[in-house]
Structure 1
Amino acid sequence: MTCAADHTRWSAAEVRGDYRVVLVRRGRFRRRAAGVPADIDETLAYVGLPGEEEQFAHPAGGDLCTAISVTAQLWRSMAGDRAVPASQVLYVEPRLDLAHRGILAAAQAGDVDYALSEELLMLLSATVGQAVNGPTPLGGRSVGRDRSLVAAAREAIAAGHPAADALFSLADLLGVSPYRLSRAFPRELGVSVTRYRHRVRIGRALDRLEAGERSLSTLAADLGYADQAHLSRTIRQHLGETPTTVRRRLAAMAPDAAGPASLRRSGRG
Protein backbone atom coordinates (compact mmCIF):
# COMPACT_ATOMS: atom_id res chain seq x y z
CA MET A 1 0.00 0.00 0.00
CA THR A 2 1.53 3.29 -1.13
CA CYS A 3 0.47 6.66 0.25
CA ALA A 4 1.71 9.80 -1.47
CA ALA A 5 -0.07 12.22 0.89
CA ASP A 6 1.88 15.11 2.37
CA HIS A 7 -0.03 16.93 5.10
CA THR A 8 0.45 17.70 8.79
CA ARG A 9 -3.27 17.99 9.56
CA TRP A 10 -5.33 14.99 10.61
CA SER A 11 -7.43 13.43 7.86
CA ALA A 12 -11.17 12.90 8.11
CA ALA A 13 -12.14 9.98 10.34
CA GLU A 14 -12.24 6.56 8.66
CA VAL A 15 -14.05 3.44 9.89
CA ARG A 16 -13.15 -0.08 8.73
CA GLY A 17 -14.96 -3.35 9.43
CA ASP A 18 -11.94 -5.67 9.67
CA TYR A 19 -8.92 -6.36 11.83
CA ARG A 20 -5.75 -5.02 10.23
CA VAL A 21 -2.04 -5.41 10.80
CA VAL A 22 -0.07 -2.59 9.17
CA LEU A 23 3.72 -2.56 8.90
CA VAL A 24 5.80 0.20 7.34
CA ARG A 25 8.26 -0.70 4.61
CA ARG A 26 9.45 2.85 3.97
CA GLY A 27 8.66 6.29 5.41
CA ARG A 28 6.54 7.19 8.43
CA PHE A 29 3.16 8.67 9.34
CA ARG A 30 0.94 9.47 12.31
CA ARG A 31 -2.21 7.60 13.29
CA ARG A 32 -4.86 8.54 15.82
CA ALA A 33 -7.43 6.07 17.18
CA ALA A 34 -9.65 6.50 20.26
CA GLY A 35 -8.07 9.92 20.65
CA VAL A 36 -4.58 8.45 21.10
CA PRO A 37 -1.93 9.48 18.54
CA ALA A 38 1.01 7.28 17.56
CA ASP A 39 4.01 7.77 15.28
CA ILE A 40 4.27 4.76 12.97
CA ASP A 41 7.48 3.86 11.14
CA GLU A 42 9.59 0.77 10.34
CA THR A 43 10.05 0.06 14.07
CA LEU A 44 6.38 0.36 15.08
CA ALA A 45 3.39 -1.42 13.55
CA TYR A 46 -0.26 -1.15 14.51
CA VAL A 47 -3.33 -3.35 14.78
CA GLY A 48 -6.56 -1.78 13.53
CA LEU A 49 -9.88 -2.92 14.99
CA PRO A 50 -13.32 -3.31 13.39
CA GLY A 51 -15.57 -0.31 13.90
CA GLU A 52 -12.98 2.06 15.35
CA GLU A 53 -12.46 5.57 14.04
CA GLU A 54 -8.96 6.39 12.89
CA GLN A 55 -7.26 9.42 11.40
CA PHE A 56 -3.93 9.86 9.67
CA ALA A 57 -1.37 12.59 9.11
CA HIS A 58 1.72 12.54 6.89
CA PRO A 59 4.07 15.29 8.03
CA ALA A 60 7.09 13.53 6.48
CA GLY A 61 5.54 12.93 3.05
CA GLY A 62 4.56 9.59 1.52
CA ASP A 63 5.11 6.08 2.81
CA LEU A 64 5.00 2.46 1.69
CA CYS A 65 3.22 -0.07 3.93
CA THR A 66 2.07 -3.66 4.03
CA ALA A 67 -1.56 -3.80 5.21
CA ILE A 68 -2.99 -7.22 6.08
CA SER A 69 -6.76 -7.53 6.44
CA VAL A 70 -7.78 -10.25 8.91
CA THR A 71 -11.28 -11.66 9.31
CA ALA A 72 -12.82 -11.78 12.78
CA GLN A 73 -12.91 -15.58 12.56
CA LEU A 74 -9.18 -15.86 11.84
CA TRP A 75 -8.29 -13.28 14.49
CA ARG A 76 -10.27 -15.12 17.18
CA SER A 77 -8.83 -18.48 16.12
CA MET A 78 -5.42 -17.07 17.02
CA ALA A 79 -6.19 -14.53 19.76
CA GLY A 80 -9.08 -16.33 21.46
CA ASP A 81 -11.94 -14.34 22.93
CA ARG A 82 -9.75 -11.29 23.41
CA ALA A 83 -11.18 -9.44 20.43
CA VAL A 84 -9.51 -6.22 21.61
CA PRO A 85 -5.71 -6.46 21.97
CA ALA A 86 -4.00 -5.10 25.06
CA SER A 87 -1.90 -2.89 22.80
CA GLN A 88 -2.59 -1.69 19.28
CA VAL A 89 0.86 -0.23 18.64
CA LEU A 90 3.55 -2.90 18.45
CA TYR A 91 7.31 -2.75 18.50
CA VAL A 92 8.60 -4.46 15.35
CA GLU A 93 11.13 -6.81 16.89
CA PRO A 94 13.54 -8.63 14.55
CA ARG A 95 11.33 -11.74 14.45
CA LEU A 96 8.38 -9.66 13.24
CA ASP A 97 10.58 -7.80 10.74
CA LEU A 98 11.80 -11.13 9.35
CA ALA A 99 8.22 -12.43 9.07
CA HIS A 100 7.29 -9.25 7.19
CA ARG A 101 10.13 -9.77 4.73
CA GLY A 102 9.07 -13.41 4.35
CA ILE A 103 5.61 -12.28 3.25
CA LEU A 104 7.03 -9.95 0.64
CA ALA A 105 9.35 -12.67 -0.70
CA ALA A 106 6.55 -15.26 -0.81
CA ALA A 107 4.30 -12.83 -2.67
CA GLN A 108 7.02 -12.34 -5.29
CA ALA A 109 7.55 -16.11 -5.63
CA GLY A 110 3.95 -16.66 -6.68
CA ASP A 111 2.83 -19.43 -4.29
CA VAL A 112 -0.09 -17.50 -2.83
CA ASP A 113 -2.18 -20.48 -1.73
CA TYR A 114 0.41 -22.10 0.55
CA ALA A 115 3.79 -20.36 0.98
CA LEU A 116 2.32 -16.86 1.27
CA SER A 117 -0.46 -18.13 3.54
CA GLU A 118 2.06 -19.75 5.89
CA GLU A 119 4.20 -16.61 5.99
CA LEU A 120 1.07 -14.58 6.80
CA LEU A 121 0.20 -16.94 9.64
CA MET A 122 3.73 -16.67 11.04
CA LEU A 123 3.47 -12.88 11.03
CA LEU A 124 0.02 -12.93 12.63
CA SER A 125 1.29 -15.34 15.28
CA ALA A 126 4.12 -12.95 16.15
CA THR A 127 1.67 -10.04 16.17
CA VAL A 128 -0.87 -11.76 18.41
CA GLY A 129 1.91 -12.88 20.74
CA GLN A 130 2.81 -9.22 21.33
CA ALA A 131 -0.64 -7.67 21.22
CA VAL A 132 -2.61 -10.07 23.43
CA ASN A 133 -1.92 -10.69 27.10
CA GLY A 134 -2.51 -14.12 28.63
CA PRO A 135 -3.01 -17.55 27.05
CA THR A 136 -4.24 -17.86 23.47
CA PRO A 137 -5.14 -20.77 21.16
CA LEU A 138 -1.59 -20.47 19.77
CA GLY A 139 -0.15 -22.24 22.80
CA GLY A 140 -0.39 -25.91 23.66
CA ARG A 141 -0.50 -29.00 21.50
CA SER A 142 -1.72 -32.56 21.45
CA VAL A 143 0.49 -35.17 19.79
CA GLY A 144 -2.45 -37.44 19.04
CA ARG A 145 -4.54 -34.66 17.52
CA ASP A 146 -1.58 -33.43 15.48
CA ARG A 147 -1.03 -36.92 14.10
CA SER A 148 -4.65 -37.44 13.06
CA LEU A 149 -4.89 -33.92 11.62
CA VAL A 150 -1.74 -34.34 9.52
CA ALA A 151 -2.94 -37.75 8.33
CA ALA A 152 -6.26 -36.27 7.18
CA ALA A 153 -4.49 -33.37 5.45
CA ARG A 154 -2.08 -35.73 3.68
CA GLU A 155 -5.01 -37.81 2.47
CA ALA A 156 -6.77 -34.74 1.04
CA ILE A 157 -3.57 -33.55 -0.68
CA ALA A 158 -2.83 -37.00 -2.11
CA ALA A 159 -6.40 -37.39 -3.37
CA GLY A 160 -6.29 -34.00 -5.09
CA HIS A 161 -9.31 -32.72 -3.16
CA PRO A 162 -10.25 -29.24 -4.44
CA ALA A 163 -9.98 -27.85 -0.91
CA ALA A 164 -6.32 -28.90 -0.82
CA ASP A 165 -5.53 -26.26 -3.44
CA ALA A 166 -5.07 -23.69 -0.66
CA LEU A 167 -4.06 -23.86 2.98
CA PHE A 168 -7.07 -21.89 4.24
CA SER A 169 -9.63 -24.00 2.37
CA LEU A 170 -7.87 -27.21 3.47
CA ALA A 171 -8.06 -26.08 7.10
CA ASP A 172 -11.75 -25.30 6.62
CA LEU A 173 -12.32 -28.78 5.17
CA LEU A 174 -10.64 -30.34 8.22
CA GLY A 175 -12.48 -28.12 10.69
CA VAL A 176 -9.41 -26.45 12.22
CA SER A 177 -7.82 -23.02 12.08
CA PRO A 178 -5.22 -22.40 9.35
CA TYR A 179 -2.64 -21.70 12.05
CA ARG A 180 -3.33 -25.02 13.77
CA LEU A 181 -2.89 -26.91 10.49
CA SER A 182 0.23 -24.96 9.61
CA ARG A 183 1.93 -25.73 12.95
CA ALA A 184 0.89 -29.40 13.08
CA PHE A 185 3.01 -30.39 10.07
CA PRO A 186 6.44 -29.33 11.37
CA ARG A 187 5.63 -30.79 14.78
CA GLU A 188 4.58 -34.13 13.30
CA LEU A 189 6.70 -34.48 10.13
CA GLY A 190 9.46 -31.93 10.57
CA VAL A 191 8.47 -30.03 7.40
CA SER A 192 5.92 -27.31 6.69
CA VAL A 193 2.63 -28.12 4.98
CA THR A 194 3.84 -25.97 2.07
CA ARG A 195 6.98 -28.06 1.65
CA TYR A 196 5.02 -31.30 2.04
CA ARG A 197 2.59 -30.27 -0.69
CA HIS A 198 5.52 -29.34 -2.93
CA ARG A 199 6.95 -32.82 -2.28
CA VAL A 200 3.74 -34.44 -3.50
CA ARG A 201 3.53 -32.22 -6.58
CA ILE A 202 7.20 -32.69 -7.44
CA GLY A 203 6.68 -36.45 -7.28
CA ARG A 204 3.85 -36.10 -9.77
CA ALA A 205 5.99 -33.86 -11.96
CA LEU A 206 8.75 -36.49 -11.96
CA ASP A 207 6.22 -39.16 -12.97
CA ARG A 208 5.08 -37.04 -15.91
CA LEU A 209 8.62 -36.13 -16.99
CA GLU A 210 9.67 -39.76 -16.74
CA ALA A 211 6.71 -40.71 -18.93
CA GLY A 212 7.93 -38.31 -21.61
CA GLU A 213 5.98 -35.09 -20.95
CA ARG A 214 7.53 -32.41 -23.17
CA SER A 215 5.45 -29.34 -22.34
CA LEU A 216 6.46 -27.70 -19.08
CA SER A 217 3.64 -25.16 -19.39
CA THR A 218 1.08 -27.97 -19.62
CA LEU A 219 2.71 -29.75 -16.70
CA ALA A 220 2.66 -26.57 -14.60
CA ALA A 221 -1.02 -25.96 -15.34
CA ASP A 222 -2.02 -29.56 -14.63
CA LEU A 223 -0.21 -29.55 -11.27
CA GLY A 224 -1.66 -26.23 -10.16
CA TYR A 225 1.41 -24.00 -10.43
CA ALA A 226 0.93 -20.34 -11.28
CA ASP A 227 2.96 -20.73 -14.46
CA GLN A 228 5.92 -22.57 -15.98
CA ALA A 229 8.39 -20.28 -14.18
CA HIS A 230 6.82 -21.16 -10.83
CA LEU A 231 7.18 -24.88 -11.58
CA SER A 232 10.79 -24.41 -12.68
CA ARG A 233 11.70 -22.41 -9.55
CA THR A 234 10.14 -25.03 -7.29
CA ILE A 235 11.93 -27.96 -8.94
CA ARG A 236 15.23 -26.07 -8.92
CA GLN A 237 14.77 -25.20 -5.25
CA HIS A 238 14.03 -28.78 -4.21
CA LEU A 239 16.23 -30.74 -6.64
CA GLY A 240 18.95 -28.24 -7.48
CA GLU A 241 18.37 -28.74 -11.21
CA THR A 242 16.13 -27.34 -13.92
CA PRO A 243 13.16 -29.40 -15.19
CA THR A 244 14.98 -29.90 -18.50
CA THR A 245 18.04 -31.34 -16.76
CA VAL A 246 15.84 -33.55 -14.59
CA ARG A 247 14.03 -34.81 -17.69
CA ARG A 248 17.35 -35.75 -19.32
CA ARG A 249 18.46 -37.60 -16.19
CA LEU A 250 15.20 -39.52 -16.05
CA ALA A 251 15.52 -40.41 -19.74
CA ALA A 252 19.04 -41.72 -19.11
CA MET A 253 17.70 -43.93 -16.33
CA ALA A 254 15.07 -45.55 -18.56
CA PRO A 255 15.59 -49.29 -19.27
CA ASP A 256 15.60 -48.81 -23.05
CA ALA A 257 18.40 -46.25 -22.66
CA ALA A 258 20.58 -48.58 -20.58
CA GLY A 259 19.56 -51.83 -22.23
CA PRO A 260 22.03 -52.07 -25.17
CA ALA A 261 24.99 -51.21 -22.94
CA SER A 262 23.90 -53.86 -20.46
CA LEU A 263 23.69 -56.45 -23.22
CA ARG A 264 27.16 -55.58 -24.47
CA ARG A 265 28.61 -55.90 -20.98
CA SER A 266 26.93 -59.26 -20.41
CA GLY A 267 28.11 -60.52 -23.83
CA ARG A 268 31.75 -60.05 -22.86
CA GLY A 269 31.29 -62.51 -20.01
Structure 2
Amino acid sequence: MLSAVTLAARPEFTVSTVACRADHTRWSAPEAHDGHRLVLVRRGRFRRRADGADADLDPTMGYLGAPGEEERFAHPAGGDVCTSVGFAPSLWDGRTGRGSVYVDARLDLAHRRVLAAAEGGDIDYALTEELLGLVALTSPPPAERPRPDHRALATAARAAIIDGVPEGARLCSLAAALRVSPYRLSRVFSQQVGVSLTRYRNRVRVARAMDRLEEGDTGLAALAAELGFADQAHLTRTVREHLGHTPLALRRLLTPPPTRPRTSPRSQPRAARGHDHGQ
Protein backbone atom coordinates (compact mmCIF):
# COMPACT_ATOMS: atom_id res chain seq x y z
CA MET A 1 0.00 0.00 0.00
CA LEU A 2 1.37 3.39 -1.04
CA SER A 3 0.47 6.70 0.61
CA ALA A 4 1.73 10.22 -0.07
CA VAL A 5 1.48 13.42 1.95
CA THR A 6 2.31 16.73 0.28
CA LEU A 7 4.54 18.87 2.52
CA ALA A 8 4.79 21.84 0.15
CA ALA A 9 3.68 22.61 -3.38
CA ARG A 10 4.32 25.41 -5.82
CA PRO A 11 4.12 25.48 -9.63
CA GLU A 12 7.89 24.86 -9.78
CA PHE A 13 8.15 22.02 -7.25
CA THR A 14 6.42 19.63 -4.89
CA VAL A 15 7.82 18.03 -1.74
CA SER A 16 6.06 14.91 -0.50
CA THR A 17 6.50 12.14 2.02
CA VAL A 18 5.85 8.78 0.40
CA ALA A 19 5.32 5.70 2.57
CA CYS A 20 5.08 2.18 1.19
CA ARG A 21 3.90 -0.74 3.30
CA ALA A 22 4.37 -3.32 0.57
CA ASP A 23 6.37 -6.50 1.13
CA HIS A 24 7.06 -8.37 -2.11
CA THR A 25 10.01 -9.52 -4.19
CA ARG A 26 8.22 -9.29 -7.55
CA TRP A 27 8.50 -6.21 -9.71
CA SER A 28 5.55 -3.82 -9.83
CA ALA A 29 3.74 -2.81 -12.99
CA PRO A 30 5.64 -0.18 -15.02
CA GLU A 31 4.94 3.47 -14.29
CA ALA A 32 6.22 6.79 -15.61
CA HIS A 33 6.22 10.39 -14.40
CA ASP A 34 6.04 13.68 -16.26
CA GLY A 35 8.80 15.64 -14.53
CA HIS A 36 12.20 15.34 -12.91
CA ARG A 37 12.14 13.73 -9.47
CA LEU A 38 14.64 13.29 -6.68
CA VAL A 39 13.76 10.50 -4.24
CA LEU A 40 15.68 10.14 -0.97
CA VAL A 41 15.06 7.27 1.41
CA ARG A 42 14.45 8.10 5.07
CA ARG A 43 13.84 4.56 6.34
CA GLY A 44 13.82 1.08 4.87
CA ARG A 45 15.10 -0.40 1.60
CA PHE A 46 13.64 -1.20 -1.80
CA ARG A 47 14.68 -1.90 -5.40
CA ARG A 48 14.17 0.11 -8.57
CA ARG A 49 14.47 -0.91 -12.20
CA ALA A 50 14.74 1.81 -14.88
CA ASP A 51 16.16 1.70 -18.41
CA GLY A 52 17.11 -1.93 -17.87
CA ALA A 53 19.29 -1.18 -14.83
CA ASP A 54 18.50 -2.36 -11.29
CA ALA A 55 19.38 -0.38 -8.16
CA ASP A 56 19.14 -1.20 -4.46
CA LEU A 57 18.03 1.90 -2.58
CA ASP A 58 18.35 2.78 1.12
CA PRO A 59 19.16 5.91 3.21
CA THR A 60 22.62 6.04 1.60
CA MET A 61 21.40 5.70 -2.00
CA GLY A 62 18.61 7.69 -3.64
CA TYR A 63 17.73 8.25 -7.27
CA LEU A 64 16.90 10.86 -9.90
CA GLY A 65 13.96 10.10 -12.15
CA ALA A 66 13.67 11.63 -15.62
CA PRO A 67 10.44 12.57 -17.45
CA GLY A 68 8.89 9.62 -19.25
CA GLU A 69 11.33 7.14 -17.74
CA GLU A 70 9.70 3.73 -17.18
CA GLU A 71 10.17 2.42 -13.65
CA ARG A 72 9.39 -0.74 -11.71
CA PHE A 73 9.78 -1.31 -7.97
CA ALA A 74 10.17 -4.24 -5.61
CA HIS A 75 10.07 -4.29 -1.80
CA PRO A 76 11.74 -7.49 -0.60
CA ALA A 77 12.70 -5.95 2.78
CA GLY A 78 9.26 -4.62 3.73
CA GLY A 79 8.07 -1.02 3.92
CA ASP A 80 9.95 2.23 3.48
CA VAL A 81 9.52 5.99 3.85
CA CYS A 82 10.95 8.43 1.31
CA THR A 83 11.02 12.10 0.44
CA SER A 84 10.01 12.73 -3.16
CA VAL A 85 10.80 16.11 -4.71
CA GLY A 86 9.36 16.95 -8.12
CA PHE A 87 10.96 19.76 -10.15
CA ALA A 88 9.69 21.87 -13.02
CA PRO A 89 12.21 22.46 -15.84
CA SER A 90 12.88 26.02 -14.60
CA LEU A 91 14.09 24.73 -11.24
CA TRP A 92 15.97 21.79 -12.74
CA ASP A 93 17.96 24.30 -14.82
CA GLY A 94 18.92 21.98 -17.66
CA ARG A 95 20.74 19.36 -15.61
CA THR A 96 21.20 15.95 -17.16
CA GLY A 97 21.66 13.82 -14.05
CA ARG A 98 19.61 10.63 -13.68
CA GLY A 99 19.86 7.23 -12.04
CA SER A 100 21.20 6.38 -8.60
CA VAL A 101 22.58 9.11 -6.33
CA TYR A 102 24.97 8.39 -3.49
CA VAL A 103 23.78 10.18 -0.35
CA ASP A 104 26.85 11.43 1.47
CA ALA A 105 26.71 13.31 4.78
CA ARG A 106 26.32 16.69 3.07
CA LEU A 107 23.38 15.50 1.00
CA ASP A 108 21.84 13.87 4.06
CA LEU A 109 22.06 17.20 5.90
CA ALA A 110 20.60 19.07 2.91
CA HIS A 111 17.71 16.59 2.87
CA ARG A 112 17.02 17.20 6.55
CA ARG A 113 17.19 20.97 6.04
CA VAL A 114 14.59 20.71 3.28
CA LEU A 115 12.23 18.87 5.63
CA ALA A 116 12.85 21.44 8.38
CA ALA A 117 12.22 24.32 5.97
CA ALA A 118 8.98 22.71 4.82
CA GLU A 119 7.83 22.65 8.43
CA GLY A 120 9.00 26.24 8.99
CA GLY A 121 6.38 27.74 6.70
CA ASP A 122 8.55 29.94 4.45
CA ILE A 123 7.90 27.97 1.28
CA ASP A 124 8.64 30.71 -1.24
CA TYR A 125 12.17 31.57 -0.11
CA ALA A 126 13.65 29.40 2.67
CA LEU A 127 12.39 26.08 1.30
CA THR A 128 13.04 27.08 -2.31
CA GLU A 129 16.68 27.90 -1.57
CA GLU A 130 17.14 24.68 0.38
CA LEU A 131 15.77 22.78 -2.62
CA LEU A 132 18.16 24.60 -4.94
CA GLY A 133 21.02 23.52 -2.68
CA LEU A 134 19.73 19.97 -2.79
CA VAL A 135 19.68 20.04 -6.59
CA ALA A 136 23.22 21.42 -6.68
CA LEU A 137 24.52 18.56 -4.54
CA THR A 138 22.84 15.84 -6.58
CA SER A 139 23.62 17.23 -10.02
CA PRO A 140 26.07 20.17 -9.86
CA PRO A 141 26.38 22.46 -12.89
CA PRO A 142 29.74 23.39 -14.44
CA ALA A 143 31.70 25.96 -12.47
CA GLU A 144 31.01 29.53 -13.54
CA ARG A 145 33.24 32.55 -13.02
CA PRO A 146 31.72 35.82 -11.79
CA ARG A 147 30.76 38.11 -14.67
CA PRO A 148 30.00 41.85 -14.83
CA ASP A 149 26.28 41.19 -15.23
CA HIS A 150 26.23 39.28 -11.94
CA ARG A 151 26.43 42.52 -9.98
CA ALA A 152 23.58 44.00 -12.01
CA LEU A 153 21.47 40.91 -11.38
CA ALA A 154 22.06 41.05 -7.62
CA THR A 155 21.32 44.78 -7.59
CA ALA A 156 18.06 44.27 -9.47
CA ALA A 157 17.02 41.52 -7.05
CA ARG A 158 17.79 43.73 -4.04
CA ALA A 159 15.77 46.58 -5.55
CA ALA A 160 12.80 44.31 -6.20
CA ILE A 161 12.81 43.07 -2.61
CA ILE A 162 13.26 46.53 -1.09
CA ASP A 163 10.55 48.02 -3.31
CA GLY A 164 8.17 45.19 -2.47
CA VAL A 165 7.24 44.38 -6.07
CA PRO A 166 4.69 41.54 -6.34
CA GLU A 167 7.15 39.28 -8.17
CA GLY A 168 9.46 39.48 -5.17
CA ALA A 169 7.02 37.55 -3.00
CA ARG A 170 8.44 34.27 -4.34
CA LEU A 171 11.97 33.38 -5.35
CA CYS A 172 10.80 31.60 -8.49
CA SER A 173 8.60 34.49 -9.65
CA LEU A 174 11.43 36.94 -8.94
CA ALA A 175 13.78 34.85 -11.07
CA ALA A 176 11.23 34.77 -13.88
CA ALA A 177 10.84 38.55 -13.71
CA LEU A 178 14.62 38.93 -13.94
CA ARG A 179 14.76 36.38 -16.79
CA VAL A 180 17.13 33.94 -15.11
CA SER A 181 16.69 30.52 -13.56
CA PRO A 182 15.97 30.34 -9.81
CA TYR A 183 19.23 28.47 -9.28
CA ARG A 184 21.26 31.12 -11.10
CA LEU A 185 19.60 33.94 -9.18
CA SER A 186 20.18 32.26 -5.82
CA ARG A 187 23.82 31.43 -6.58
CA VAL A 188 24.76 34.82 -8.05
CA PHE A 189 23.01 36.73 -5.26
CA SER A 190 24.88 34.82 -2.56
CA GLN A 191 28.19 35.38 -4.36
CA GLN A 192 27.64 39.11 -4.82
CA VAL A 193 25.92 40.08 -1.55
CA GLY A 194 27.45 37.56 0.83
CA VAL A 195 24.14 36.29 2.22
CA SER A 196 21.38 34.16 0.76
CA LEU A 197 18.28 35.65 -0.85
CA THR A 198 16.21 34.30 2.03
CA ARG A 199 18.44 35.94 4.63
CA TYR A 200 18.43 39.24 2.75
CA ARG A 201 14.65 39.27 2.27
CA ASN A 202 14.11 38.49 5.94
CA ARG A 203 16.49 41.28 6.90
CA VAL A 204 14.37 43.72 4.86
CA ARG A 205 11.15 42.40 6.40
CA VAL A 206 12.56 42.68 9.92
CA ALA A 207 13.42 46.33 9.23
CA ARG A 208 9.85 46.93 8.08
CA ALA A 209 8.54 45.24 11.20
CA MET A 210 10.68 47.57 13.33
CA ASP A 211 9.33 50.56 11.39
CA ARG A 212 5.77 49.51 12.17
CA LEU A 213 6.52 48.82 15.82
CA GLU A 214 8.12 52.25 16.14
CA GLU A 215 4.93 53.72 14.70
CA GLY A 216 2.95 52.04 17.47
CA ASP A 217 1.51 49.09 15.53
CA THR A 218 0.20 46.48 17.99
CA GLY A 219 -1.48 43.90 15.74
CA LEU A 220 1.27 41.31 15.27
CA ALA A 221 -0.90 38.79 13.40
CA ALA A 222 -1.96 41.41 10.86
CA LEU A 223 1.61 42.69 10.61
CA ALA A 224 2.89 39.17 9.94
CA ALA A 225 0.36 38.68 7.15
CA GLU A 226 1.12 42.06 5.60
CA LEU A 227 4.86 41.36 5.54
CA GLY A 228 4.39 37.95 3.96
CA PHE A 229 5.13 35.70 6.94
CA ALA A 230 3.29 32.41 7.26
CA ASP A 231 1.85 33.45 10.63
CA GLN A 232 2.67 35.40 13.78
CA ALA A 233 4.91 32.59 15.06
CA HIS A 234 6.95 32.78 11.83
CA LEU A 235 7.36 36.54 12.31
CA THR A 236 8.46 36.02 15.91
CA ARG A 237 11.04 33.35 14.98
CA THR A 238 12.51 35.48 12.21
CA VAL A 239 12.74 38.64 14.32
CA ARG A 240 14.36 36.71 17.17
CA GLU A 241 16.85 35.08 14.77
CA HIS A 242 17.96 38.45 13.38
CA LEU A 243 17.79 40.61 16.50
CA GLY A 244 17.72 38.32 19.52
CA HIS A 245 14.41 39.84 20.66
CA THR A 246 10.75 38.99 20.15
CA PRO A 247 8.46 41.59 18.54
CA LEU A 248 6.94 42.31 21.95
CA ALA A 249 10.37 42.99 23.42
CA LEU A 250 11.24 45.13 20.40
CA ARG A 251 8.13 47.21 20.92
CA ARG A 252 9.31 48.05 24.42
CA LEU A 253 12.83 48.79 23.20
CA LEU A 254 11.58 51.07 20.43
CA THR A 255 9.02 52.96 22.49
CA PRO A 256 10.48 56.24 23.68
CA PRO A 257 10.30 56.83 27.41
CA PRO A 258 7.47 59.07 28.56
CA THR A 259 8.46 62.69 28.64
CA ARG A 260 8.37 64.35 32.02
CA PRO A 261 6.49 67.64 32.25
CA ARG A 262 8.88 70.53 32.18
CA THR A 263 8.77 72.68 35.27
CA SER A 264 9.45 76.39 35.15
CA PRO A 265 12.47 77.49 37.12
CA ARG A 266 11.64 78.70 40.58
CA SER A 267 11.53 82.44 40.87
CA GLN A 268 14.40 83.70 42.88
CA PRO A 269 13.50 86.25 45.61
CA ARG A 270 15.05 89.60 45.06
CA ALA A 271 17.77 90.47 47.48
CA ALA A 272 16.62 93.06 50.00
CA ARG A 273 18.41 96.31 49.82
CA GLY A 274 20.59 96.92 52.79
CA HIS A 275 20.05 100.04 54.94
CA ASP A 276 22.59 102.79 54.55
CA HIS A 277 24.05 102.95 58.06
CA GLY A 278 26.07 105.95 57.07
CA GLN A 279 22.98 108.07 57.05
> Please, what TM-score do these two structures have when normalized by structure 2?
0.84
Residue 71 (structure 2) pairs with residue 71 (structure 1): no
Residue 124 (structure 2) pairs with residue 113 (structure 1): yes
CA contact under 8 A between 1:78 and 1:128: conserved in structure 2? no
CA contact under 8 A between 1:21 and 1:45: conserved in structure 2? yes
Report the number of matched residues: 248
Aligned to 1:55: 72
Per the TM alignment, residue 142 of structure 1 is displaced from its structure 2 partner at its CA by: 2.4
Paired residue type of 1:125: A
Secondary structure at the counterpart of residue 42 of structure 1: coil
Aligned to 1:231: 235
- CA–CA distance in structure 1, aligned partners of residues 66 and 196 of structure 2: 30
Per the TM alignment, residue 6 of structure 1 is displaced from its structure 2 partner at its CA by: 1.8
Paired residue type of 1:119: E
- CA–CA distance in structure 1, aligned partners of residues 94 and 107 of structure 2: 16
Task: Tell me which structure has the larger Cα radius of gyration.
Answer: 2
Alignment RMSD, CA only?
1.8
Aligned to 2:107: 96
- CA–CA distance in structure 2, aligned partners of residues 229 and 258 of structure 1: 30
CA contact under 8 A between 1:78 and 1:125: conserved in structure 2? no
Can you list the C-alpha shifts for 1:107-152, whole angstroms capped at 9, x where unaligned?
11111000000000000001113xxxxxx4x521324222100110
Aligned to 1:147: 151
Runs of at least 5 residues in structure 1 that lack an aligned partner in the other structure: 130-135
Residue 50 (structure 2) pairs with residue 33 (structure 1): yes
Can you list the C-alpha shifts for 1:159-187, whole angstroms capped at 9, x where unaligned?
11111001011000000111111112221
Can you list the C-alpha shifts for 1:239-261, whole angstroms capped at 9, x where unaligned?
1111111111111xx2xx25439
Secondary structure at the counterpart of residue 15 of structure 1: coil
Aligned to 1:188: 192
Runs of at least 5 residues in structure 2 that lack an aligned partner in the other structure: 1-17, 267-279
CA contact under 8 A between 1:78 and 1:179: conserved in structure 2? no
Which protein is richer in helix relative to its size? 1
Which protein is richer in strand relative to its size? 2
Aligned to 1:206: 210
Aligned to 2:133: 122
- CA–CA distance in structure 1, aligned partners of residues 239 and 53 of structure 2: 50
Secondary structure at the counterpart of residue 65 of structure 1: strand
Secondary structure at the counterpart of residue 24 of structure 2: coil
